[in-house]
Amino acid sequence: MVGELKSIEELLKDMKERGIATSLYNARYNRKPILYDTTLRDGEQTPGVSLTVEDKVKIALLLEDCGIREVEAGFPAISSDEEEAVRSVSKAVSESKVLCLCRALKSDVDLALSCDVDGVIVFAPSSDIHLKWKLKMSAEDVLGCALEVIEYAKSHGIFVQFTCEDATRTPLKRLLRFYRAAIDRGADRIGVADTVGCITP
């Protein structure tokens, strides 16, 4: 049964109140899109690509010059070299916001804070296969850890994005529960990761 027709303004207001995102490219959406780049982390995961600290700083400065307002500098918990790269990018960049990747661990957030980043991208697995075989934890336990870390990061005054790893293979009800809980705990933004590349537009 089709409900009452509403004006565009009423529909957008209703969607916003219900937490449903509208397209950034909608002419009636009054915020400008923010260009975010993950070359320094995700790009380096390309087979055959290996960037030095100096390479990462040069790329970050070029991205900033091009108007990219958010640069994901790396994942400092994976190695001391990566930690050094994230810290160096954070020192070099002045206009863009520097973010880094963190697992749902306070120790990862502490490392990010020591690198003087502007924000963190806290990620936690959410799909059945990742919960069962990667973490061997229940969805509720993973969510509990993630929420604690989101709150911890926010208590340090930094920007927090929460991303469900393998979101596109996660049951929709669980995915929405994770994201709503993250927003309720203070996450500034959510990310939807197609970790294994299983969806198409």
Which range is least confidently modeled, 29-33, 50-54, 121-125, 151-155? 29-33
pTM: 0.83
Residue 199 pLDDT:
87
C-alpha R_g of the chain: 18
- Kindly report, residue by residue over 143-152, the tens digit of the pLDDT: 999 999 999 9
Task: Write out the two tokens for 38.
Answer: 């993950």
Residues 6+ apart with CB under 8 A from 137: 131
pLDDT at 77: 98
pLDDT class for 26, splitting at 50, 70, 90?
low
pLDDT the model gives residue 5: 47
Share of the chain above pLDDT 70, in %: 85
Tell me the domain boundaries of the chain.
Answer: 7-98, 118-201
Q: Do you know the residue count of the chain? A: 201
Q: Which residue has the higher pLDDT, 4 or 92?
A: 92
State the Cα–Cα distance between residues 26 and 69, nearest whole angstrom: 20
Determine the average pLDDT of the residues in 46-61: 96
With bands split at pLDDT 50, 70 and 90, how would you rate the model's confidence at 6?
low
